[in-house]
Amino acid sequence: MGLRAGTENPALIVGFSEALKLTEKSRKKESRRLRILRDYFIKKVLRTISHCRLNGHIQKRLPNNINLSFAGIEGESLVLKLDQCGISVSTGSACTSTDLTPSHVLLALGLPEDLAHGSLRLTLGRKTAKKDLDYVLKILPPVVEELRKMSAIRL
């Protein structure tokens, strides 16, 4: 096809290898930091809000992933209310973030449709701090309570 391989760039290969090593060290440190924040948030929510469950395994999950279901409320309503308070979250799973049908991932985990519809997904990042999570922990319980009062479903 008129093309031939060029000469490999050894300096670039060595530099890339060193960059990967540096990244790996910081990635491990960041993963640990996010796990601590994630676990802190999950424990607080489960203690504070009744009829709430963690979706997925408590430890065998990404360090920055939190997915919870709240019985008696619609996830989209929760997302909208939290957005009004400056909190960016989504509902369902990442696989279905643009779809209003229950997440096939959550349903495969054994959640009934109503709990899958009442799910909330939070993703932590490099800039997420404990104070950010504390703000969500302050806002989330009254919002859940308000939405449950408006719901036709009684717990």
Indicate which residues carry an active-site annotation.
Answer: 95
Beta bridge partners, 52, equal 70
**Do 102 and 116 meet the contact criterion of CB atoms below 8 Å apart?**
yes
Give me the count of residues in the chain.
155
DSSP the chain: ---------HHHHHHHHHHHHHHHHHHHHHHHHHHHHHHHHHHHHHHHSSSEEE-S-SSSS-TTEEEEEETTS-HHHHHHHHHHTT---BSS-GGGTT--SPPHHHHHTT--HHHHHTEEEEE--TT--HHHHHHHHHHHHHHHHHHHHHSS---
Give me the residue label for tokens 């607080």. 44
